[in-house]
Structure 1
Amino acid sequence: MMGDKKLQKAIENFECGNYNAALKQLNTIIKDDLHNEKAHYYLCLIYHHLKKWSRCKKCAFSFLKTFGKRGDILTLLGDVYLFEGNYRKAMKSYRSAVKYCSSSKEKEELQEKIQKVQVLFDEKKSQPRLAVIVNEGGDNFTDELIEHLSETYWIRKFIIRSFKTSLLNTFLKAKTKGFLSDRFFQFATRVLGSELKKIMSWADVTWCEWANALAAVCSYIKPRGKKLFIRLHRYEAFTDIPFVINWKNVDGLVFVSKFMEEILEMRGLKLDGVNWKVIYNGIDVGKFQFKPRQKGYNIAWVAHIIPRKNLFMALEIIRKLVNVDSNYKLHVAGDFPDPEYEIFIKNAIKNMQLEENVILYGWVDDVNAFLEDKNYILSTSLHEGHPYNLIEAMARGIKPVIYNFYNASELFEEKFLFNTTDEAVQKILDDEYDSEYYRHYIEQKGWTLEHQAREFDGFIKELLDS
């Protein structure tokens, strides 16, 4: 009975649009009852509503494997394939769903959907083909762009499984350490990169999201007459991968900030002859609706909780704020990939007597909803490329308080930056607060999804015309 009440509460939260609470409740239910079919269904449905396509796909596959075929799940899976540009699989999934639908209305709706996809499929055949290659779990920044660019291109999104990416990484590390001869390395890339080559052969232009092992292999096996570009975010610039990439075979490189190119140069990699361009990240400003705010006590911190994000500095800041006023609270939206660091942070919270002032939410899928009642967005990261968490919060009218990481001034005004924890505290205590200015700042900079999509479209067209 208790489990039924929890599930009903989760469903109520879903129906009210409180997706974060519903997801947390559903995951707890599934942890306690792995075979709760209804909980699995709603988990899949929420990810569909949030357009978290990869998670929706993973949940749908898990559901079908555990509980067998169901029309509604097959329909959701068909929608995922539709987004991924795999129209044949989308129609196949919808046709399969028809067999498991009980009502004639549902069957009619699916038949109409199949017909519309067929028409779309026929239209797409005449458009330029763009393949998006991304490693499993690495597609957080692709989907909204794909949705916008799909009006102009036939885009297919290909997610490469983690085990294959890890295998490629192993070979690349062996190459950088000098353990593999050039001849054997080229042989290995041809064998291990057969799937990637097939993808690139289909496309007119291939976009490798992240300058990682997948991008490196693609740079060696690109078919003649095809175009390849890579988007480098941040962490890749501090690895050996850029030194292994065959840049002579890469037609374009996209940075999310100018200083990432400078870091590669500082590390000794000259990009002479490489067609590179800075395209800043952009958000859907319609989704992150502006809300006038003022000084308050709720401070948001949004990121994976890893040492580079430097949550401990945020704890020091909140400790100082609590000494001024015990109403201040630090709301942390993020997961702990490292159990050792989780123990460290939770122990620090206890030792600093911050249990009542630091709230750990775990990973949050609906950041927009999480930011609803926040007054500040705090960033303590040691380094960033072009952080979405800050852009999203500023678009909502939230005051940013940002650690002055290397070349942060390229992105943010000095008044948003701090160098010491005392400076951060002062910025939060200051009376200066201008929600409209924070929103306008994002729009003026062109950090919108619409502008970003236009920049990508222009860049891709240049590659096609070259």
Structure 2
Amino acid sequence: MVQTLARAGCDVTLVLKAPVRTGRLVDPLRALPRVTVLSPHEEGLAGEGPMRPAEAAAVIARIDEREPFDLAVVRGRALAGQLAAGPLRGRLWTYLTDVPQSAAEFDGKARGDLRRIADASRLLLCQTEELRGFLEAAVPATAGKSVLFPPVVVLPDGLRPRAAGSPDGRLRLVYTGKFAPRWNTLEMTRLPALLRARGVDAELHMVGDKIHQEAGFAAPMKAALESGDGVVWHGGHPRAEAMRLTASGDVALSWRDMSMDTSLELSTKVLESGALGVPVVLNRNPMHERLFGADYPLFASSESDVVDALTLIGKNPELYELAAERCRTAAAGYSLDAAVRRMRGYLDTTFPAPRREGRLKVVVAGHDLKFFTKLLDHLRDRPDIEVRLDKWPALKTHDPERSLELVQWADVVICEWCGPNALWYARNKRPGQKLLVRLHRFELYSGWPLKLDIEAVDKVVCVSPHYASLTLETTGWPEDKVQVIPNWVDDEQFDRVKLPGARHHLGIIGIAPSRKRFDLALDVLEELRRDDPRYTLFVKSKLPWEYWWIWERPEERAHYEEVFRRVRRSPALAGGVVFDAYGRDVPAWLRRIGFVLSTSDDESFHLAPAEGMASGAVPALLPWPGADTVYDTRWIHATPGDMAASIAASVAEGRWEDDRETARAQVRAAYGLRVVEDAWVDLVFGVHSGNAEPSAGYVRLTDGKNDR
């Protein structure tokens, strides 16, 4: 992490938790440019021994007072929990590793701790996609903040990987790390003798000096290290020497107790061995299968599995080379260069470059900002904009004194929703002050736009060309007052590896009220399952009876009673519809989805297909009014039957991969978060300078072209 941050352009201060007793790890870091290694114990800031979380949080806060940090990367749930309540709140980039990794372990305290940490963190760094998805489902507050920071493999200077080729002579096994029961290190010491009985001459080299002191383990482990048959114990060594010993081996061991098969973390030592060209024995789980391939020859879950696998590759050079190549290929994606590129992306997003000197004063006013969150974060992040909120407690309720104070302060006011907030600011704005209003579908038919003094407004922003046209038609406003800036899709958050079987999985997000036309989605599914029962419809939605205003209407209730009766009774639908809980973990849920459906009678934009496209799914829409102004017509189908035929053809003709890459490229260009953020920044600065048009136009999806 220190090397990555430094190479990404940061000045890094590493605060040490404990007194330095050996320079094995610290000395190489002290030698790096732009890195300061700070020992609170040497400076008299800490007492004796390793700092406990509360003490460490207090020490870090004191160091921050001297020269405030822009961001603080912290590892460890207990320490992060302490810092979450302190002055570094909002600047934390929390590296999550020591979290419960099963639903059974996730008690109320763990969930509460992680929610507070998520609320206080700007980013949550997760080692694996599996860990990120689990956290987002268990703790909704982590959704949207969780990003990947996989383990980083850095080979020491001068260390060369193992030469290619199968073992010549004795098979050298190697293990580096701690000695603990669940790491199967005692069982490993029996392998040389077991292999010899199979006709494979082998020896085991073990590197490390930390023996866990569990009763019944420590003494036998130490005895096996010192005098085990075929065991060579090298003791503790600096990381570079330990890796040199690994490179001199033929096979590395990372075989663990089966209780660890559900781990959501990825061993750095496994990747280091791969980078050194040394194949690894490890447990089979979905994460390892994705990384090494389901047919990797060195998966093992028991002692007999390990002996079988080592015997097989000891006698079959071609299998040994296959395993080594798989490990080299897997490790290549975890280089320091890859980590630096990833980190620079996060830094550029969090600390955007300024466009002007000084700070433009911007007020954002509204009762509900859920559709403006990412845009608000971006405006706040900018060094050339200062943002203050006028948060109305309700649609028609606010603090007039607070609003008047903000009117006197602001250069630009953004009203989220064209409601009473927009009417108030239009009446009370100062001469020369700029007013932007974002209008949603809800307000268009409410009557408020007709009461708005449009002459006091610089721009009304609509999310699609269709609703911009409806707004002009309904209000009679001048055309130059209305501008389209689409809804945003956090394309980076949705860009995740698909799970097996996704091409046969349909998804629909939100099925209430009845105008969402869940019944038409069922038509599509029935048509597909008549020929191929692998097609499944996944539904992520609150159910209609969870919305009181829907369920109290007799016609809505009748519609859903019929729909759910059909799901229960239709032979074609039997086992083909899965209902998933409503929640913020949509990016993780979309990993299993190959097609996202939009079967509504009407929508203003419908974000779900765009989110699906960003995830690498293919959108499939029925022609609700204005759909062709938001989405490419290739994804729009006249009837449910046509939609089913298109989906079946995409899969059967092998076009699904190409279709989904086309869709992903389209949504990034038109609705990607950075594109929409830039359009809003262009608008904010443009209206302030008197330029009515932003410098970057809105791009809509078209059939083969981008229109600006």
**TM class, shorter-chain normalised?**
0.5 to 0.7
Contact 2:462 2:484 in 1 (8 A): yes
Could you tell me how far 1:285 is from its partner in structure 2? 2.8
1:310 aligns with 2:517: yes
1:440 aligns with 2:696: no
CA distance in 2, matches of 1:361, 1:18: 22
Q: Give the 3-state SS of the residue equivalent to 1:296 in structure 2.
A: helix
- CA contact 2:511–2:518 (8 Å) conserved in 1: no
Find out whether 1:286 has 2:492 as its counterpart.
yes
Residue of structure 1 in register with 2:378 after alignment = 148
d(CA) in 1 for partners of 2:628, 2:479: 28
Q: Which SS does the other structure have where 1:286 is aligned?
A: helix
Q: Which amino acid aligns with 2:601?
A: L
C-alpha deviation, 1:344, in angstroms? 4.6
Q: In structure 2, do the counterparts of structure 1 residues 199 and 392 end up closer, same or farther at CA, with 3 Å as the change threshold?
A: same
Q: CA offset at residue 193 of structure 1?
A: 4.3
Alignment partner of 2:647 out of 423, 428, 450: 428
Which residue, 674, 678, 682 being the options, matches 1:458? 682
Greater shift, 241-250 or 320-329, is seen at: 320-329
Report the Cα offset of residue 292 of structure 1.
6.8
| Structure 1 residues 13-412: aligned runs within 5 Å | 39-46=111-118, 126-135=358-367, 138-149=368-379, 150-151=381-382, 152-162=384-394, 165=395, 167=396, 193-267=400-474, 269-272=475-478, 275-289=481-495, 291=497, 296-303=503-510, 305-335=512-542, 336=544, 337=547, 338-340=550-552, 341=556, 344-345=559-560, 348-353=563-568, 354=573, 356-412=575-631
Does the aligned pair in 2 maintain the 1:236–1:242 contact within 8 Å? yes
Question: What TM-score, normalized by structure 1, do the two folds share?
Answer: 0.65
Taking a change above 3 Å as real, the CA distance of residues 157 and 355 of structure 1, as seen in their structure-2 partners, is farther
> Taking structure 1 as reference, are residues 322 and 200 closer, same or farther at Cα in structure 2, changes over 3 Å only?
farther
Report if aligned partners of 1:295, 1:375 keep a CA contact under 8 Å in 2: yes
- How far 1:320 sits from its partner (Å)? 3.2
**Aligned partners of 2:370 and 2:114: how far apart in 1?**
21
Structure 1 residues 247 and 238, CA gap change in structure 2 (3 angstroms): same
Shift of 1:43: 4.1
- Kindly provide the amino acid, as one letter, of the partner of residue 243 in structure 1: L
Could you tell me how far apart the structure 1 residues matched to 2:121 and 2:566 are? 40
RMSD: 3.7
Please tell me whether Structure 1 or Structure 2 has the larger radius of gyration of its CA atoms: 2
- Once the two structures are superposed, residues 167-222 of structure 1 have per-residue CA deviations (whole angstroms, 9 ceiling, x without a partner) of 46xxxxxxxxxxxxxxxxxxxxxx97444333333322111112223223322222
Q: Which amino acid aligns with 2:388?
A: R
- Following TM superposition, by how much is the alpha carbon of 1:243 offset from its aligned partner in structure 2, in angstroms? 1.0
| Residues 253 and 274, structure 1, Cα contact 8 Å, conserved in 2 | no
Q: Which amino acid aligns with 1:216?
A: L
Letter paired with 1:455: A
**CA shift in 2, pair 1:273/1:370, >3 Å:** closer
Matched, 1:416 2:641: no
Larger relative contact order (Cα-Cα within 8 Å, sequence gap ≥ 6): 1
Q: Which moved more, 1:408-417 or 1:275-284?
A: 275-284
Distance 1:222 1:308 in 2: 39
Q: Shift of residue 430 of structure 1?
A: 1.5
Distance 1:278 1:153 in 2: 22
Relative to the length of structure 2, the TM-score reads 0.44
Separation of aligned partners in 1, 2:557 and 2:369: 25
- Which deviates more, 233-242 or 343-352? 343-352
Hey, what's the Cα distance between the residues in 2 that align with 1:195 and 1:42? 34
Preserved contact between residue 197 and residue 218 of structure 1 (Cα < 8 Å): no
Residue-by-residue CA offset, 1:394-424 (whole Å, 9 max, x unaligned): 1221111011111211222222002212112
Contact 2:436–2:458 (Cα < 8 Å) also in 1: yes
Whole-Å separation in 1 of the counterparts to 2:116 and 2:600: 32
Which secondary structure state, in structure 2, belongs to the residue aligned with residue 133 of structure 1? strand
The separation in 2 between residues aligned to 1:412 and 1:155, in whole angstroms, is 33
Q: Post-superposition shift, 1:227?
A: 1.8
Contact 2:423 2:451 in 1 (8 A): yes
* C-alpha deviation, 1:148, in angstroms: 2.4
Structure with bigger helix share is 1
- CA distance in structure 1 between the partners assigned to 2:408 and 2:662 by the alignment: 47
Report the AA paired with residue 648 of structure 2.
L
